[in-house]
Each structure stands twice: as structure tokens, then as C-alpha cells.
Amino acid sequence: MGSILSAEWFKLRKSKMVPLIFAGPIIGLFIGLTSNLESNTQGLDVNHWYISLFSMNLTYALLFLPLIAGVFASVICRYEHQSGGWKQLLALPVTRGRVFVAKYILIMILMMAMQLLYLCSIFAVGMMKGYSDPFPMEIVWKSIVGGWVATLPLVALQLWMSIMFKSFAAPFAVNVIFTLPSILAINSKTIGPYYPWAQPFSMMYIGGNSDDAFFVPWDQLLTVVGGGFVLFFLGGYLYFQRKAV
Amino acid sequence: MIGKLLTSDFLKIKRKGLWFLTALGPIGVVALQMVNYGIRRDYLLEQSEDDWGYYLLNVHSFTPLAIVLGIAILTSFIASIENETNAWKQLIALPVSKLTVYLSKFTVLAILLFLSSTILMLMTLAYGVFLDLGDSTPYMEIAKFAYYPFFASLPILALQLWIASVCHNQGIPITVGIFGVIFAYSSFVLPDWMIWKWPSLMNQWDEPVINVMLGVGIGILLYIIGMIDFARRDVK
């Protein structure tokens, strides 16, 4: 398993797409520095960090995170789709299941790295705006890790789609078709909690109920995120077992 | 020559899902409003006196996002048809100039997008009439909200086609498309010179027609820059 992972990492590093993880903090900085909610909340007694977090997490988790997850999945499969890479890789003494798991783990590591860089960008925005309030470490951690957990099922589906389609555009189109409706879904109390693509937003939304470990109740987390993950991961896993290379 | 190239380009996109996506974009945008109005129709009708205007604004809140992402998908598709089988070489080896090859790709995409806008117009009208939003149907406004974003997004089309056709790794144009949609989503804070703001038809003068003119002008400029750069590069 370790050697497959390091082989995957090596292929990825040489494809020069690792800097893609900096897209997260760049978007974070862009939203954080362009939003000017401060003027609306002047005089209100709230922690200044919350104001930035609200606007940054909204755009970042609603559109950017689900979409970029798909790009990572496609990038990881790009090498194999070119000139018979799947044949060469699977001719090695490795099982298909392990290849699938290794690719999945690597994507999730990259997503974690991007989330941590995004955390840095939150901090940087606060520094540039000169916030003096205490940094809400616990809340930020919850939303950083929560957003990451919420992408588990989305990455599984995208990995499935990326293995299935040779081009980048097709899995991306699938991703867009499911991600755009979440803008409406989050407005609805009945659909929002059950829509898997709206979960990154719910998990990163700092106004949520914070008694639980994350900003969503455990049963919602387990059924929607957990259930989606099992469904998409098994789907992709079984598809890859049968795929003709 | 351009006619034959266009025919071959239309042949190449057959059964690749491009026509499907072209139709799905506008249908999806209106379908989201069908869900929106289906669930909370009474609440939405209370929001404004001008029910048609409010409905058009609701539809238009998704149009720029769908256009920006649609452009990224279609351009990347068109480029990967040639990339996947290393067909650029064979295509360029034919007795055609590289400039016309590029022009033909751009024209196919522009036709697809135009078609998309037309479907958007018809769907918006059909669902609006179905909702029974009042007697005076604003045909001109509906046409404006369908075709203005198309012209205003031509610079994005030119830019994305340029990036998609010169990059071997399609991850790059797709990532640019994601940045584009984030910009389009936050277009109310963007300065007027950002091309991703234009499909939203917002500007400081409150004159949507300025975005159309800027779109056509800058679109042609970016198209020419992309075409010249494409023609100068070696085909690998």
C-alpha cells in the first residue's frame, strides 16, 4: 500500500499540478479582502473574525470546495488516461482495489493540505485587516475539519467519474450539475440537510449549532455524508474492478 | 475552407455530450426556478409588485454562473477531442491554416452558446407564462436577459478557448473556469473591468448595454490574441 501511495505521489509531483492546492488560499484571500461586511456591522458587539469567516466560508464552501475536489480527482487519473497508463499500472503486482484506495487517500491528503492553507489565509486576512479580537480557534478548526469531512463523498464520486471518462470536461460537467443547485438547496430547511453537495457549506457554516462535534447534528452527518460516502466509494470501487483497461 | 472545417468540427462533437450539455444548461437554470417557485411560490410573488421582473431576476441569478461554467466545460471538451488522440498534428497537417482551425473552433462554440441562450429565452418565457405572472409579458426584457449575457461573456469564451487549446493539461483551463465562477458569484464586489463581472450585466452606470459592447469589443481582442498565440506555437 505504501509503495503504491508513493508511486502515486511521484506521478502527481512530476505532473506539476501540486501547486493547485494554493488555489484554496488564493480564493480565501480574494473573498476575505473584497468583502466589506464590516461597514454593515459597525457598532455590533461581535468578534471581528466571525464577520470575515461568514463571507469567506460561504463562497469557499458553497462553490469552490466541491468544484476543486473534482479537479483533484481528474488530475490524479490524468497520467493513467494518457497512452495506456492504466494497462501499465495494472500490469504491476498490485490489486485494483489498492490502486483505487491509494488514489482516494492521496486526493484526501491534498484536500487536507488545501484546507490548512485556507486556514492560513483566514489568519492572513485578519492580520491585514488588523483584528484585535481573540482568534476563535475552536470554531475555525471545526469548520476546517468539517469542510474536509464533507468532501469525502464528493471526492469518491468524482474519482469514480474521473476513472470512467477520459476527458477532464465530462467529470467536471457532472460535478457542476450537482454543485450549482446547492445554492438553492441551502436556502431550504427541508432539502438542504439531505443534499450531499450542500454539506461542505453546512459543515463550514459557523452560525450552526455548535454543541456537537461539528456544525451539523451527528445523525445528518452519518446519514448524508457517511451514506453518500459508502454509496459513491463502493460504486467507484466496484466499477474500477470491472473496468476494461 | 471555413465551411468544411465547421462541418468537420460539428461532426467531431457528435455523440460526445456537447449538444446535451448545451441544452441542459439553460433548462437547468429554469428548472432551478421551477423548484424555487414550486416550493415557495406565494412567498416569492409577495416579494415584489413586478412579478415578471422579479422572476427574471431570479432566473438571471443563475445565468452568469451557468454560462461561465458552461464555457469552461465546452472549451475543454473541444480541446480534449484533439488532445486525446493527438489529433492536432493531423488536423494541422491538412491544407488548412492554423488561423482558420482556431476560427472554426471558436465559431462552433459561439453557435452552441447562442443556441443555449435561445433555449434559455424560450424556457424562461414558457415557465413565466405557466406561472401566470401577469398580463403584460415583457418579451423584450426576456430576450435581453437571454442574449445580453451571451454577448457579455464572449471575452470569457475567447480566454478559455485560448487556455484550453494551448495547455496540454486540461486541469489548468478547468481551474481557471472555477476561479471564473467564484468571480461571477461575487460579481457585486468586483471592479467593472473584470470580464467575469460582465455576464451579470451589472456596472456602475447601470446600463447593461455597456457590458454587451465591452463584451463584443474585448471578446474580439482576446480572440485575436489567442489565435495569434495558437498559430505561433509548435504542435506537439
Per residue in B160-169, pLDDT tens? 999 999 888 8
Pair B79, B164: CB distance under 8 Å:
yes
Nearest Cα residue to B210 out of B219, B201, B221: B201
Highest mean pLDDT among A80-84, B134-138, B173-177: B173-177
Q: What pLDDT score was predicted for residue A45?
A: 64
Q: How far is CA B135 from CA A180, B50, B59, B129, B131, in A?
A: 32, 11, 19, 9, 11
Q: Tell me: the pLDDT tens digits for A103-151? A: 999 999 999 999 999 999 988 888 888 777 777 877 788 888 889 999 9
> Distance (Å, rounded) from C-alpha A141 to C-alpha A118?
11
Residue in chain B nearest A72 by alpha carbon: B171
Helix and strand element counts for chain B (H, E): 10, 0
Q: Would you give the DSSP letter of residue A15?
A: T
Amino acid at B108: V
Interchain proximity A168–B28, CB inside 8 Å: no
The verdict on a CB contact (< 8 Å) between B182 and A168 is no
| B-chain residues near A170 (CB < 8 A) | 17, 77
Q: Residue A114's pLDDT is what?
A: 93
Please tell me what DSSP assigns to residue A64. I
For residue B181, which residues of chain A lie inside 8 Å, CB to CB? 63, 67
Give the C-alpha separation, B72 to B180, whole Å.
9
Distance from CA of B72 to the nearest CA of A (A): 8
Q: Do B17 and A173 touch (CB under 8 A)?
A: yes
Taking Cα atoms as reference points, which of A207, A201, A209 lies closest to residue A185?
Answer: A201
Q: Give the pLDDT confidence of B92-112 residue by residue, as tens digits.
A: 888 888 899 999 999 999 999
**pLDDT averaged over chain A?**
86
Domains of chain B, residue spans: 2-232
Please tell me the distance in Å from A212's CA to the nearest CA on chain B: 30
User: What span, in angstroms and rounded, lies between the C-alpha atoms of A169 and B78?
Assistant: 9
B186 pLDDT above the threshold of 60: yes
CA geometry: angle at A244 spanning A241 and A245, to 5°? Answer: 105
In this prediction, residue A156 carries a pLDDT of: 95
Q: Confidence class of residue A40 from pLDDT cuts 50, 70 and 90? A: low
Cα–Cα dist B214/B97, whole Å: 29
Show residues of chain A in contact with B44, CB under 8 Å.
none
